[in-house]
Amino acid sequence: MAAVAVDGVWKYFGDFPAIREVSLTADSGECLALLGRNGAGKTTLLRILAGLSAASRGGIRLFGQDARSVQARLRTGYLGHGIGVYEELSARENLELFAKLYQLQNPGKLAGEWLERTGLDRAAGSLVREFSRGMRQRLAVARAFLHEPGILLLDEPFTALDDRAIQLLEGLLQAARERGAAVVMSTHQLREALELATRVSLLVRGRVAYSGPRTAEMLADPGWLYRHYGEAT
Amino acid sequence: MNFVRLSLVVAAKDLRSELRTKEALNASLSFALVILLLFSFAFDPSSEQIAEFSGGLLWITFAFAGALILNRSFSRELANDCLDVLVASPVSGAALFFGKALANYALLVAVEIVCLPVFGVFYGVRWTRQFWWLMLVILLASWVMTVMGTMFSALTVNLRLRELMLPTLIYPMLIPALMAAMQLTTLILAGSPVAGDDLIWLRLLTGLAIIFTSLALGLVEIVLVR
Amino acid sequence: MRERVLYALGVAAALLLARNLYVILLVLPDEAEQGAIYRIIYFHLPAWFTCFAAFLAAGAASAGYLARNDSRYDALAVAATEVGLAFCTIGMVTGSIWARNQWGIWWTWDPRLTWALITTLVYGGYLMLRRAIEDPNERAKNTAVLSIFAFTSVVITYKAIDWWRTQHPGPVLSFRTGGGKIDPAMESMIYVNWAPFLMLAVVFVVVRMRQELARRELDALRRFAHAM
């Protein structure tokens, strides 16, 4: 059973199809890179996987469960465009909150561990409002990985990260894959993504134009995919 | 009882957040005091007729000041895309809603209780006479307001004009609850017992509380998942 | 509904209305206490009945949309709400004219008129929310939820206001009083005049529904074209 199974999914906004008959899978331990231009449907697809949006047609199964079910959401970590942490709470309070929402044992201890891991332990009691951009990003990453999710959904994660945060993220992704998590990552930054990816799917205007394993060719020449499949409808 | 536990986690978060900044609380309290002041010019506070208006006056104050708190329920989650993260988390829409409603309720009732002595002083009304009856009415009617306000905050969260839309949408629907609250409060403040025919207003409030809470809990999930 | 049926319905309604007008103005006698102005009841009451029916349809359509996710339910909901509001306004205006004639005041806070005003505000809010949401699915979904709250609220308000004040003329229709208060010829005319109102309401609702569905399609096509 695949960790992430997307089967014949359509998503309409009004009568406009943003996603057209998309099918793809990601198994445990795999890292699927979702490529495509702006408006191709990457964010929409990720949001559906995260349970934020409902597919108009077709099925989404995360570990065999419906994406919106509680069991699926318990095992999914989502890192979207916004950092998803509260400005008026401290770093520790934020992590404890999410630990409780994800029904983890010992939220306090867990929060402490992650604060250390992300290098935020000295600022644990400070409000996020006072954080620098890099610190916020690291906290966001901590929030997404806190509950050791089996599925990670990342929407253009490298876009806003500074070097320290990128290192942190790459390390966490590596560790996640080693314990068998599936990662679905949408991106513009071809280089970083292709290095981490094991599979690649290219979305063009809501359709899957190409889906397959990441090849050495792609790694050597990131633009290859777009040139070969970019204009297909 | 996951539902209750998760609701309390959400409620605690909202309360902590609000108590740290006190933005909505301060705005609501100031607004309530301003309204009480303005009314003192509209009606002569020393006349005996004030007794007839007292219930109405108090609840208009509560309704307007309350909107400032209720408006923020879901819109406070928009910063940093926190709403997305909450909806993506294993918390059900109903638990999220209920937690927020609880937090709003606590804040709203706190504001109302602070207003009571001020009201008593400005308008020479003895509000302690049938205190527990007054509390009952305040608690019931405020819950109806809270449920509607929190629900509609969810409904309008993605709109540009949400600050304008919320009051326009809920006030007409709150009219039965406000009517009942005003009737009962006027009676209570005048020292009359709440009995006989007047109990119908109490039943109305209870009915509204049950109906609107059920509707909200049932429908909020649909509203939150786009 | 096919074009021909709609036209037929509209023409039938117009003819019936014309015939009723003739009867109302020239055949039926004046009422004992009120004189000629009472004839407005033949428009006032049917307007109300139609308004209730329309809002009921809107509430049901909203529930239907949430259950089935079919955009036709959404189109029906908005069409029925708009038509309901129109007839609600007719009811209020006719009631107001009558009140001015009988009691010398344009407005009175009696149960029916107060309820009508509240209902207008409630459903006016619904229409406002519709305009404020761009995405059609979001719009349909959120306004459907609002519509359910609106209908519940409006029904409860109806009863609540009854307990609040009374200045409106008491019930005269036989299903409320068991007969005897109103001349049977007059009472039957009220119902007979309801028929063309209902027919017109149906025509308006269907036309508006079609228009709403066409607009959705146009918006989608426009978006599609831009994406090319």
Distance from CA of C223 to the nearest CA of A (A): 7
Q: State residue B139's pLDDT score.
A: 97
Q: What are the start-end ranges of the H helices in A41-90?
A: 42-50, 70-74
SS3 assignment, position C179: coil
Q: State residue A172's pLDDT score.
A: 93
- What mean pLDDT, rounded, does chain B reach? 91
Query: Nearest residue on chain B to C140, judged by CA atoms?
Result: B223
Q: What angle do CA C76, C191, C10 make, to 5 degrees?
A: 50
Q: State residue C166's pLDDT score.
A: 40
Binning pLDDT at 50, 70 and 90, where does residue A223 land? confident
Distance from CA of B184 to the nearest CA of A (A): 40
CB atoms closer than 10 angstroms to residue A195: 14
Contact A57/A132 with Cβ under 8 angstroms? no
Tens digits of residue pLDDT in A73-87: 999 999 998 899 999
> Which of B18, B19, B23, B81 is the best residue to mutate to test the A interface, defined by the most A CB atoms within 10 Å of its own CB?
B81
Query: Nearest residue on chain B to A51, judged by CA atoms?
Result: B88
Query: Nearest residue on chain A to B19, judged by CA atoms?
Result: A88
Between residues 49 and 78 of chain B, which touch chain C (CB distance below 8 Å)? none
Counting residues of chain B whose pLDDT is more than 70, the rounded percentage is 99
Tens digits of residue pLDDT in A16-35: 889 999 999 999 999 999 98
Judged by CB atoms closer than 8 Å, whether chains meet at B80 and A80 is answered as no
Judged by CB atoms closer than 8 Å, whether chains meet at C122 and B158 is answered as no
Rounded average pLDDT over B85-111: 96
In order of their start, the domains of chain C are 2-27+35-227 (1.20.120)
Q: State residue C180's pLDDT score.
A: 52
Given CB atoms, is C175 within the 8 Å cutoff of chain B? no
Judged by CB atoms closer than 8 Å, whether chains meet at A205 and C227 is answered as yes
Domain edges within chain B: 2-224
What's at A47, amino acid-wise? R
Given CB atoms, is B176 within the 8 Å cutoff of chain C? yes
Q: State residue B200's pLDDT score.
A: 87
Given CB atoms, is A63 within the 8 Å cutoff of chain B? no
Judged by CB atoms closer than 8 Å, whether chains meet at C132 and B176 is answered as no
Judged by CB atoms closer than 8 Å, whether chains meet at C223 and A13 is answered as yes
Q: State residue C178's pLDDT score.
A: 47
Given CB atoms, is A119 within the 8 Å cutoff of chain B? no
Tens digits of residue pLDDT in A2-18: 899 999 999 988 778 89
- Spell out which residues of chain B touch residue A151, defining contact as CB-CB under 8 Å: none
SS3 assignment, position C77: helix
**Phi and psi of A153, rounded to 5°?**
-115, 115
Contact A185/A151 with Cβ under 8 angstroms? no
Q: State residue C33's pLDDT score.
A: 63
Given CB atoms, is B222 within the 8 Å cutoff of chain A? no
User: What is the complex's ipTM, to 2 decimals?
Assistant: 0.91
DSSP codes joined into one string, A171-197: HHHHHHHHTT-EEEEE-S-HHHHHHH-
Strands A57-62 and A4-13: antiparallel
The segments of chain C whose pLDDT lies below 50 read 166-169, 171-172, 174-179
Q: State residue C225's pLDDT score.
A: 82
Beta strands (DSSP E) in chain B are none
Cα A135 to Cα A86, A127, A129, B206, C74: the distances in Å are 13, 11, 11, 49, 46
Query: Nearest residue on chain B to A140, judged by CA atoms?
Result: B80
Kindly report the pTM of this predicted structure: 0.90
> Which of C55, C74, C145 is the best residue to mutate to test the B interface, defined by the most B CB atoms within 10 Å of its own CB?
C145
Counting residues of chain A whose pLDDT is more than 70, the rounded percentage is 98
- Spell out which residues of chain A touch residue C216, defining contact as CB-CB under 8 Å: 14-15
Q: State residue A86's pLDDT score.
A: 95
Rounded average pLDDT over B32-59: 84
DSSP class of A160: S
Rounded average pLDDT over A171-187: 92
Which tokens in the block code for residue C88? 């609600």
Burial of C188 (0-12, 13-18, 19+ CB in 10 A): exposed
Query: Nearest residue on chain B to A44, judged by CA atoms?
Result: B226
CB atoms closer than 10 angstroms to residue B46: 10
Judged by CB atoms closer than 8 Å, whether chains meet at C135 and A15 is answered as no
Q: State residue C104's pLDDT score.
A: 82
Q: State residue C182's pLDDT score.
A: 64
Closest CB to C136: pick one of A14, A39, A205: A14
